[in-house]
Amino acid sequence: MSNVKAIDFATIQDARKTLKRLIADNPHPLREIDSLNYLDELTRDDTTMSKPGKQRMAEYRERLKAQGIRGLYIFIHDDDRKRLESLAASLDMTIGQCIRYLLDQHQEPTP
């Protein structure tokens, strides 16, 4: 006996009719098939999101560490924090960039 299954053309035609009706009833789909967003979704590396959050964070920290960037947790008074955030915003910098800028500005001259 052959493992070839018979094709049910009636079911296929019914499915095509249903699809055509759905398309006619919904003339404005959520997105165009040929849109850039759709293409981005097709080419996205889905392995990133399949990793647990802990692993993604660890890999992110390792990438930053390779760039010489490490986390720092400090205790700071609320008023000083607001001043730092305000300064960073006025300089159009992140808080980390602002701290680096301030350190560069107040670096002691080398002998």
Show me where the domains of the chain are located. 8-44
User: How far is 75 from 106, CA to CA, in rounded Å?
Assistant: 21
The whole-number pLDDT of residue 70 equals 87
pLDDT at 34: 56
* Alpha helix segments (H runs only) across the chain: 9-25, 36-43, 53-66, 78-90, 95-105
Nearest alpha carbon to residue 96 among 106, 60, 104: 104
- What pLDDT is stored for residue 30 in this prediction? 60
Residue type, 108: E
Going residue by residue through the chain (111 aa), what tens digit of pLDDT does each one get? 566 677 788 888 888 888 888 877 776 666 555 556 655 665 565 555 678 889 999 999 999 999 998 888 899 999 999 999 999 999 999 999 999 999 998 887 666
95 contacts 88 by C-beta, under 8 angstroms? yes
Q: At what angle do helices 78-90 and 95-105 cross, to 10 degrees?
A: 90
